[in-house]
Structure 1
Amino acid sequence: MYLFKLIITSFIVTSLLTLSPITIASDKLEGCFEATQSCEAYRSFRKKTNPENARLEVGKQYPLLAQNKPNAATHVQLEIEGLKSDRRWVALSCGRVLPRCSGQVITPPVTQTKGDDYLLAVSWQPAFCETHPSKTECKTLTPSRFDAQNLALHGLWPQPRNNAYCGVSVKDKSVDRRKRWDLLAPLKLSSKVRQELSVVMPGYASNLQRHEWIKHGTCYGTSENVYYADSLWMMRELNNSVVRDLFRSRIGQKLSIQDLRQSFDKAFGAGAGQKVNMRCDRKGRVGEIWVNLRGKVSSGISFKHMLMNAPKAKADCKSGVVDPA
């Protein structure tokens, strides 16, 4: 009887081991995984836990550790450097398996799927120029220039914040991070977009548009022309509203986050102001406003509804001075 139980127990254990998912300990995989999509990298893909909001970088290769099933795997485990928990699971459909890592980052065409969450970073240029007087756009700033009386475009950032440099080569990323934006390739913009952008984004004079495209626009899912056309549309919505009027009326005076949010409520509906953050420099000058947005511009959604759909913003600065040019 004892021998019979021993045989049955051995059979059950053997069967369970055969059916269990592959783990690092039981079946370590070799090779490399090259990302073709900017997917989330989970510590547990079943629980959807993702400390540090890690995502794959398109074109980058990661050491392959394991798969979740011996046959018909749906997820693979990778080693992602720089994370506290560096062993992460991603969907197999997010890339392709290679026999070995080449150490090269392949630059794919821009085919990112356009997401829903964005942060529109809007500058008050006179305050920026207080701390960057040597910039070309600051040397030429006058009280009558557009950006001395209107809100200026800093950038449109697909969220989360680490969703950046999609499909960008190591070389271009290095050039961008060294702030040698003059060495980045010129953008393919229509004459209409280029002309308006050079006014609404004063940093255009210092090639800010190239930096913003390389770092953020490449994750937007469109061409550079569409990316900036959408950004300019958003800026027109702001500068044709009481939000711009509020800034003009407070030049040389203090502006509170409460007043700013009330102006958004008046311009775009009750609750819109809760989606806006105000940021000030160390000397108490209003430097930027960060506007949370959610929705696909290509769907024809209004700016008002993009605000209403967005998550609430924090308040980094309670009040600050609207600096004159």
Structure 2
Amino acid sequence: MVNVQIRYIAALLLVVCAGAHASESASGTFTAGKVCEAYTSFSKKTNPNGLKTTVGDAYPIFEVNRPGEYSWVRVLVNEGSQPGPRWISKDCGAVSDFKLKTTVAPIARPPVPNICQTPDLYESFVLASTWQAGFCNSKVAGRSDSKPECVALATGELKPTNLTLHGLWPNKKKCGINYGHCGGQPLDLKPQTRKEIEPWMPNFIYSTRFGNYEWNKHGTCQTALDDDAYFLKAVSAVKALNGSRLGALILQSMGKKVSKADLVNAVKADDPKAVGSVAFLCSKDSLYEIRVNLPVDFKTDAGLSGLVGSNPQPLGNQEDSCPDEGIHIAIGGKKPG
């Protein structure tokens, strides 16, 4: 009888301990501070398509591995060939606006809106424009086969002939990179809008997955434009940058190397005041993105000066990551594997 009681108590303790380490529903935002594995099962280290976090990206949290001192967060990841819920180590970045979703009735009080997820509080825009060959060959080289536009670039189906659109991001200084996911209507573009976007955002040639991500994360934080108008204005902004002296320099330099001074001087040639509003991002020595700070009322019919406005503002937390010399302007694509 004693042995039976001991076994019963031991089994009960196991259940209690297991419950103490059970996952718990939560909310908040996880901002990646480094590149880390995104697992479907962190205990088994299962990552079927090698999905990893992108530094600076913010992911919505909906679960942690335990309610106390948790070490893993489960977030929604939209990148990769198998997007969905993934576990990421808490040590990989920073958690903000964290809250456990318990079953205890909350104390009645007026709701406090999260300003970083509230639409139309933006103070500026950031235009993120990609140099596709540099992006595919260097920035996502290890997983470029999961991006159809990169595969097409590698096979020669696509040619790098212009700067392309990463996104047009409403920006609120107080929120840093966490202003986004403001809710709203899902993406539903007209066929003619997609055709206009495709040469400037080539992922649209194959799917709307990345477009959905950009709309849900950024486009929903402004309500002045619907999804069609928003993407068409973003494309117009990229066209303006592509047609600038900076765009011309990049197109003329494919397969060659330029210096940071060359890029800056190209910006100065269009608008000397715009220099602080433009940032160049490199993976090692390869240019993959240009970011430009835009005022709320930016224009797309007056080149770079129209984009940055009469009183250009600095980008703030959008910092250069290119070397001073030997910046490679990639041409074509590398075949995966």
| TM-score, normalised by the number of residues in structure 1 | 0.56
Residue in structure 2 matched with residue 119 of structure 1 by the alignment: 126
Identity %: 27
State how far apart, in whole Å, the 2-side matches of 1:224 and 1:197 are.
Answer: 12
Residue in structure 2 matched with residue 194 of structure 1 by the alignment: 194
- 1:261 partner letter: V
Q: CA deviation at 1:84?
A: 9.4
Residue in structure 1 matched with residue 231 of structure 2 by the alignment: 228
Residue in structure 2 matched with residue 158 of structure 1 by the alignment: 170
State how far apart, in whole Å, the 2-side matches of 1:99 and 1:190 are.
Answer: 44
Residue in structure 1 matched with residue 144 of structure 2 by the alignment: 133
Q: Deviations over 1:220-251 (max 9, x none)?
A: 22311121111011011112222221011111
SS of the aligned residue for 1:295 comes to coil
Q: CA deviation at 1:167?
A: 2.1
Q: Deviations over 1:3-54 (max 9, x none)?
A: xxxxxxxxxxxxxxxxxxxxxxxxxxxxxxxxxxxxxxxxxxxxxxxxxxxx
Residue in structure 2 matched with residue 209 of structure 1 by the alignment: 211
Equivalenced residue count is: 212
Q: CA deviation at 1:191?
A: 3.4
- 1:226 partner letter: A
| TM-score, normalised by the number of residues in structure 2 | 0.54
8 Å Cα contact 1:125/1:147 also seen in 2: no
State how far apart, in whole Å, the 1-side matches of 2:123 and 2:110 are.
Answer: 33
Where structure 2 has 5 or more consecutive residues not aligned to the other structure, the ranges are 1-59, 61-93, 100-105, 333-337
Q: Determine whether 1:271 maps to 2:273.
A: yes
8 Å Cα contact 2:144/2:150 also seen in 1: yes
Q: CA deviation at 1:296?
A: 2.0
Indicate which of 264, 280, 283 corresponds to 1:281.
283
- 1:233 partner letter: S
State how far apart, in whole Å, the 2-side matches of 1:118 and 1:165 are.
Answer: 15
Q: Deviations over 1:270-303 (max 9, x none)?
A: 2212211111113x11111111111324899985
Indicate which of 216, 220, 223 corresponds to 1:218.
220
1:147–1:243: structure 2 CA closer, same or farther, 3 Å change rule? farther
Q: Determine whether 1:318 maps to 2:323.
A: yes
Residue in structure 2 matched with residue 293 of structure 1 by the alignment: 294
Q: CA deviation at 1:193?
A: 2.3
State how far apart, in whole Å, the 2-side matches of 1:143 and 1:250 are.
Answer: 21
Q: CA deviation at 1:143?
A: 9.1
Report 1:1-325 matches (<5 A).
82-83=95-96, 99=108, 112-113=119-120, 115-130=122-137, 131=141, 132-134=143-145, 135-141=147-153, 148-160=160-172, 161-167=177-183, 187-204=187-204, 205-206=206-207, 207-221=209-223, 222-267=225-270, 269-282=271-284, 284-297=285-298, 304-308=305-309, 309-313=311-315, 314-319=319-324, 320-325=327-332
Q: Deviations over 1:173-197 (max 9, x none)?
A: xxxxxxxxxxxx5x32233321121
SS of the aligned residue for 1:148 comes to coil
Q: CA deviation at 1:98?
A: 8.8
SS of the aligned residue for 2:178 comes to coil
8 Å Cα contact 1:143/1:149 also seen in 2: no
8 Å Cα contact 2:256/2:329 also seen in 1: yes
- 2:178 partner letter: N
1:98–1:232: structure 2 CA closer, same or farther, 3 Å change rule? farther
SS of the aligned residue for 2:198 comes to helix
SS of the aligned residue for 1:199 comes to coil
State how far apart, in whole Å, the 1-side matches of 2:152 and 2:241 are.
Answer: 24
- 1:133 partner letter: S
Q: CA deviation at 1:144?
A: 7.4
- 2:196 partner letter: E
SS of the aligned residue for 1:235 comes to helix
8 Å Cα contact 2:120/2:222 also seen in 1: yes
Residue in structure 1 matched with residue 10 of structure 2 by the alignment: none
- 1:291 partner letter: V
Bigger radius of gyration: 1
